[in-house]
Amino acid sequence: MKRPCPPWRHATPRCSPVDNGQTRRLINGANPHILGAQRGRYSPPLPDSERQAREPIVAPLTESSLIALPALRLDDARALLKHDAQNSQQDAGESPTDYLQRMIDGLCELSLKDPLTGLGNRRHFHSVLERSIEAVARSGESVLLLLLDIDRFKSINDTHGHLAGDQVLQAIAGCLARCVRPMDTVARYGGEEFAVILPNCRPLFGRAVAERIRQTIESLTIAVAPLQSLQATVSIGGAYAPEWVRSTADLWIERADLQLYRAKADGRNQVCLDLPQELSVSAEEKGLLFGHLVMDEVAAIENISSEAPQDAPGNATYRVNA
């Protein structure tokens, strides 16, 4: 009995498995899906979607795919960088990508810097403050926030003019930068206010730094005209973030601002610090700290804290107060 012809014989075009010439014509011509015809096998054509997915994507390099610097509106960006004494022109041999990256880096730096004093601005200050809060919550690191306000600055502007006021701001900003460590952050908080963030700062060291800043600024002689100079003082308020507590930036600033108000009320040109052993956790911070516990458990923790023996003098202790 004659065996039936295999299905593949009906599916293939009229070519012999050894017909190399026609196989090449089929592969190179209208039927490139015929593969392995020399061995008598037939591969059915793939669907268009699958065939396109398997094909490598090769984007030809054309002029339209390159960065066309003349087509970009970079005049304002160049003017900003030039005003900040940065090179705003493309260097010889510098690729368009490298040039644009340098422009972006320069603009990012400008967005975080106060143009008058060269210190970090309020945006930069809040960014560092949020990172400090995370560090305190994770590791219990001791971080001090100082807020400084120039005493009677409005009188300086009214008496000597706003240009003299700007010179006072610049002189005090330079003094602040010289009084702190490279790891510390100094920023112009707004108007005549400055902020300093001191990481890894124990209480005794923090008070010493604040006093050094106050005394150094008090001793400054600021020339505002060829034959005219003046002096200025600052009031300083500071607060430590509660260790091992995920506080908020607003609460931390509020603590430091309260101490600054105390320094102003007590006669100005003073330092008032909210030391760690004097801190009490606020209701909002208590919610952040114990939000995952039921109220009975919170009450039990508070009772244990209140019944604990007092530490020896000089040791800072945190207690959760109602």
Amino acid at 85: A
Angle (CA) 35-40-46 rounded to 5° is 35
Active-site position among 94, 192, 218, 307: 192
Amino acid found at 66 = L
What is the C-alpha to C-alpha distance for residues 315 and 310, in angstroms, rounded to an integer?
Answer: 10
β pairing state of 185-190 and 222-225: unpaired
Containing 155, the helix (H) or strand (E) segment is helix 153-160
Alpha carbon separation from 245 to 166, 190, 286, 320, 322 (Å, rounded)? 39, 28, 9, 11, 16
Q: Per the structure block, which two tokens stand in for 60?
A: 């030809």
Nearest CA-CA partner of 263 in 168, 146, 154, 125: 146
Contact assessment for residue 218 and residue 179, using Cβ atoms and an 8 Å cutoff: no
Question: Residue with structure tokens 């004093």?
Answer: 117
Q: Please state whether 122 falls in left (phi above 0), alpha (psi between -120 and 50) or beta.
A: alpha
Q: Is 192 a catalytic residue?
A: yes
How far apart CA 144 and CA 136 sit, in angstroms, is: 11
Burial 98-127 (b: 16+ CB within 10 A, else e): ebbebbeebeeebeebbeebebbbeebbbe
Closest CA to 165 of 117, 133, 208: 117
Six-digit token string for 85: 């004494």
Distance of CA 5 to the CA centre of its chain: 74
* Closest to 124 measured CA to CA, from 198, 204, 189: 189
* Residues catalogued as catalytic: 192
